[in-house]
Structure 1
Amino acid sequence: MEGDRMAAACHERGLTPVVTLNHFTVPAWFARDGAWNQPEAPELFERYCRRVVSHFAGEVTWWVTLNEPNVGALLAATGLLAYGGPAEAAQQDPADAFARRVGGEPGTATLALPVTTPEGVANLCEAHRRARTAIKELQPKARVGWSLTLQDVQAGEGGEQKAAEMLRHIVEPFLELSKDDDFVGVQTYTRMVFGPDGPLKAARTERTFQTGWEYYPQALGNAVRLAAGFTGVPVLVTENGIATADDDLRIAHIRQALAGLPEAIADGAGVLGYLHWTLLDNWEWHAGYAMTFGLVAVDRQTFDRAPKPSLRYLGRVAATNGACLDTGRS
């Protein structure tokens, strides 16, 4: 299997593979039966996890059960249904819109993510608990957690209550569940500043992400502090990066974001590692291949791969254990 080859290739190169068991996509039959809203979802996910973990037979010992289980709650609370995009009209059922997009009849397919229903969120949480228990039974020494979207929540003038509500409803319940994990995965790209009526829109600059997000690399250190302080468990940065065609800007972002980690560690946060999003320019749910997050460019016609200077820079950071961050040299 391709997964076996990838895990073996990581070990051959001195890399530790970290595997996410579910990153949004689900089988068509699972979606048709209600996706995460169906009562059987946690049991089905546990069964799947047992098969995958058993298959790798110790070649993988770091497991992320679910990717961003709180993203649906975040998007619903902020009035967004897609990254940086407008919400569906209030009268439009997202499940019906999903069914039309995939060519199915309304009612026969359920939007897998974002999960916004209370039942779906509860099932995601139970699926994580069951997966964690199953993985530990199969691999007692495995490291298990899940990855949360934790943008840096800040209060602007008069926005203290809104910011607190965001943390209380969208972040803290998921961090609470992480207290029993080996680590909490933190996925941070920008900040969210709240005014008295909700999130404030940042002005666009030449550094604004292709996604429309504000350039704010300091968000990483702040999110790590939040996660570590709330849970008391170590943090693994499972996503951080920038969507830009300017690779010099990507290098600057990496340097400034990583500079916040020693500061967070000095404040008491345990940081296990940093995983950049992403190695290859990838397909994004809301924009296809238009957003370029990668350290390596990919020609979609020939599939040729072209490493960017940012790849070498991040490698240099790893090789020097961060010492080159102080000089800014690549």
Structure 2
Amino acid sequence: MEAKTAANSYHWIWIQHQLVEGASNEGGRGPSIWDAFSHTAGKIIDGSNGDTAVDQYHKFKEDIELIAKLGFEAYRFSISWSRIFPDGLGTKVNEEGISYYNNVINALLERGIQPYVTLYHWDLPLYLHETIEGWLNKEIVKYFSIYADTCFQNFGDRVKNWITINEPLQTAVNGYGTGIFAPGRNENSSTETYLAAHHQVLAHAAAASIYKYKYKEKQGGQVGLVVDCEWAEANSDKIEDQIAAARRLDFQLGWYLHPIYYGDYPEVMREKLGERLPKFTEEEKELLRNSLDFVGLNHYTSRFISHARESPEENDFYNAQEVEIIAEWEGGERIGEKAASEWLYVVPWGIRKVLNYIAKTYNNPPIYVTENGMDDEENETSPLHEMLDDKLRVVYFKRYLAAVAQAIKDGANVKGYFAWSLLDNFEWAQGYTKRFGLIYVDYKNGFARHPKSSAYWFLRFFKGGQGKKGKEE
């Protein structure tokens, strides 16, 4: 199936990015937990850091021109909390930060590109971590609310699409459980993982409430939360494996969406975690209820799931699920072709199943696929033309877009799709070892940008959509 049959036109397919900004010590920005983490020996696989990332702080006009030339009509990016409030407390606004994001937003709109803005993508101001232990302290909800309010006030006349928090599961599990992400805590994963998650979902609800009652009527925008989910496919017809797969989805999606749609965490999480899982007050349940206008879904891959009475994982979050996460059938056949990252396999049918699952489980809410893509391995010895010819990525996007199209035909209320990602970049703990971009970034030569085959595929795709527009609309 051709991807362009996904909808009546191409206008729902967009581009996005994160961890590209750099300029960590410029423009009045304060340090974040990722600045400290990436400068700690042994935390980043190649010893790099995000100080410069790919220098979008200085190159944003060039990047916006690339977005426009490729035909994308929306761009998802994140605001750095510590560029707005260097200490995170909200006592004094950094006007240089306000000015920078105003410039980015205005440049996007001048080129006909709609900004989709994420308020929190893992980069907590370091001061909040050092003074109140960050997401472990309920006070963080207050500080996040002040930050969100400031962004709505300064940018909401032009920004109509807001995401409060990106992938709170990753912050909670990898930041406060396994310790492989900032702030790198793993000493008390049996409690801290769930506290960090609890305060993030409350922070989302608080920010959404501020927008709803203070800005929505005048500004006319919408607010969502981005969750990440691998599809969990039962590894057999055994009832215990079917139940394990359902349990895995509750631990991924239900952890954040159940409180919003049903007022509490999934029953299976309460059963497995007991007192480790915090409780909501009645007032908090009311705040959470229907506190989003859309669900953002980050999806990359899928796995087979079987029941495991003794989990092979040491981390409490994974151990409590009692599942085994498998990439191969018993006969050795992989679930899909492997990308560069050890966890990422090309499984297009999985995204259709996730979208239909959300539609069925949560009363068919508006959904934006906010991240979808795959990575290549960095290879310093390969010539540039080989690195630019990303054949598997083209196949990936064709097949995943076709699967999204099928979900739309199934009835899922998909409103938009963001390809991950515009640029190769500093990939968190993987540093510069993985490349997710449609555009190759030459890290050694001024961060020069070179479009890959996948970028040109989207360009041709959009032109094809334009050619059919008159017949389809």
The alignment's TM-score, normalised by the length of structure 1, stands at 0.82
The residue aligned with 1:233 is: 365
Amino acid at match of 2:185: A
Match of 1:147 among 215, 226, 229: 226
Match of 1:252 among 384, 392, 395: 395
Deviation of residue 94 (structure 1)?
A: 5.0
Match of 2:210 among 125, 131, 134: 134
Matched, 1:46 2:190: no
Distance 1:321 1:153, change over 3 A: farther
Deviation of residue 260 (structure 1)?
A: 0.9
Check whether the contact 1:145–1:178 (CA below 8 A) recurs between aligned residues: no
Deviation of residue 6 (structure 1)?
A: 1.8
The residue aligned with 1:65 is: 164
The residue aligned with 1:305 is: 449
C-alpha distance in 2 between matches for 1:322 and 1:218: 27
Matches within 5 A, 1:105-254: 117-136=193-212, 137-140=214-217, 141-157=220-236, 158=238, 159-177=241-259, 179=261, 180=290, 181-197=292-308, 198-202=324-328, 207-212=337-342, 213-231=344-362, 232-244=364-376, 247-254=390-397
Unaligned runs of 5+ in 1: 84-92, 98-109, 325-330
| Structure 1 residue matching 2:376: 3-state secondary structure | coil
Deviation of residue 75 (structure 1)?
A: 6.1
**Relative contact order, higher structure (CA 8 A, sep 6+):** 2
Identity %: 28
| Structure 2 residue matching 1:145: 3-state secondary structure | strand
Check whether the contact 2:336–2:346 (CA below 8 A) recurs between aligned residues: no
C-alpha distance in 1 between matches for 2:204 and 2:252: 17
Q: Which moved more, 1:204-213 or 1:162-171?
A: 204-213
The residue aligned with 2:101 is: 3
Amino acid at match of 1:172: G
Check whether the contact 2:327–2:335 (CA below 8 A) recurs between aligned residues: no
Deviation of residue 170 (structure 1)?
A: 2.6
Larger Rg: 2
Aligned residue pair count: 298
Counting helix residues as a fraction of each chain, which structure ranks higher? 2
Amino acid at match of 1:316: R
Amino acid at match of 2:366: P
Amino acid at match of 2:145: E
Amino acid at match of 2:422: L
| Structure 2 residue matching 1:189: 3-state secondary structure | coil
Deviation of residue 206 (structure 1)?
A: 9.8
CA RMSD between the two structures: 2.8
| Structure 1 residue matching 2:117: 3-state secondary structure | strand
Check whether the contact 2:172–2:196 (CA below 8 A) recurs between aligned residues: no
| Structure 1 residue matching 2:153: 3-state secondary structure | helix
Q: Which moved more, 1:67-76 or 1:243-252?
A: 67-76
